[in-house]
Amino acid sequence: MGRPDPLDSLIVALDFPSAGAALELADELQGLCRWFKVGTELYYAAGNLVVERLRERGFEVFLDLKLHDIPNTVAGAVRSVACSGASMLTVHAGGGEAMMRAAAAAACAPGSPRLLAVTVLTSMDARELSAVGVSDTPAAQVLRLARLAREAGIDGLVCSAEEVAAVREAMGAGALLVVPGIRAASVNGAGAGAASVNGAIANDDQRRMATPAEAMTRGASMLVVGRPITQADDPAKAAAGILEEMRGGR
C-alpha cells in the first residue's frame, strides 16, 4: 500500500472567534486542505453551524472539544455530535476508563465520529504535571493514558511529537495518532513555510513541538497545524510549505 497523500494528513486548526473568519480561511485553502479542526473557541461561538458549513464545502471536520465529565454526560455529548457531521471528536483520557468506555459505546451508532483520546496537552511539561499531582514524565503519562484508551475501545490518540514514536511502538501500525504542536522548519530558519509568523510563535504556549517532517518520521498519522498557517501573511503559501515538509517526512 502506498503512503497516504499529505492532503489527507494535514488538519488546519480554525482557532477563530467567529464562523465568518474561519470560513473565509477555509475558502482560501481549498485544494490545499481537506481537514479542519474546530475547537472550543469557535464551537462555543458558532456551534454546529460552522461544522455544517465546512461539510457543505466538502471538508472533513475534526471537532476538538476534549470532553471530560461523568460517563453518562460524555456519552450523551458523543450522541449529540453524531448529528453534526464531524468525522473525529476528542475526549480526555484523564476522564478514566469508564468515561472512555461510555464514549466508545455511544460512538457505535451510525454517523458517529471516530474518537480520539487526548493524553497530555502539548502545553504541559514535567513541572506542570507535577503541580497537578502527576510525578511521572510527560512521556510516561502519555503511554499510561494511551494504553488505557486502547483498552476502553477508543479509535486513536492525540499526543505530542515527542511521544509519538513510543506510542506508535506501543499501539501498533494501525493506530490513528494525531499530533499537534507542529511548527514549520522555517520558523527556525530551516526551510520553506510560514516564516512570517515568527512574532506569533515567540508567544507560543506549546511546549512539546516538532517540525512536520520530524512528526511524520516519528510515526504521526495526521498533523494539526494552526498559527503557522492561520497567522501567516499568505496562508495558502504557508499550507503548501507545510505539505512539502510533510512529504519530506514520509
Q: What are the pLDDT digits (tens) for 150-190?
A: 999 998 999 889 889 999 988 888 899 999 989 887 644 33
Instruction: Give bridge partners of residue 225 from the DSSP assignment.
Output: 12
C-alpha–C-alpha distance, residues 163 and 179, integer Å = 9
Higher-scoring residue by pLDDT: 122, 223:
223
What local confidence, expressed as pLDDT, does residue 27 receive?
97
Across 26-33, average pLDDT: 96
CATH topology of domain 6-248: TIM Barrel (3.20.20)
Residue 210, pLDDT score: 86
More confident residue, 229 or 181: 229
Contacts of 77 (CB under 8 A, 6+ apart): 65, 67, 69
CA neighbours within 13 Å on the CB side: how many for 214?
15
Return d(Cα 28, Cα 23) in angstroms, integer: 9
Which cell goes with 235?
496562508
- Cα separation, 115 vs 152, whole angstroms: 11
14 versus 188: the higher-pLDDT residue is: 14
Q: What are phi and psi of 187, to 5 degrees?
A: -60, -30
Q: Measuring CA to CA, how many Å separate 160 from each of 122, 204, 214?
A: 6, 15, 11
pTM of the prediction? 0.88
DSSP 84: T
Given the residues 66, 92, 208, 227, the one annotated as active site: 66
Query: What mean pLDDT value characterizes the chain?
Result: 88
DSSP 8-state code for residue 209? -
Among the listed residues 208, 30, 207, the one whose alpha carbon sits nearest the alpha carbon of residue 12: 30
Would you call 66 a catalytic residue per the annotation? yes
Where are the chain's structural domains?
Answer: 6-248
Hey, what amino acid is at 167?
A: V
* Residue 246 C-beta-side C-alpha neighbours within 13 Å: 27
How confident is the model at residue 65, as a pLDDT? 97
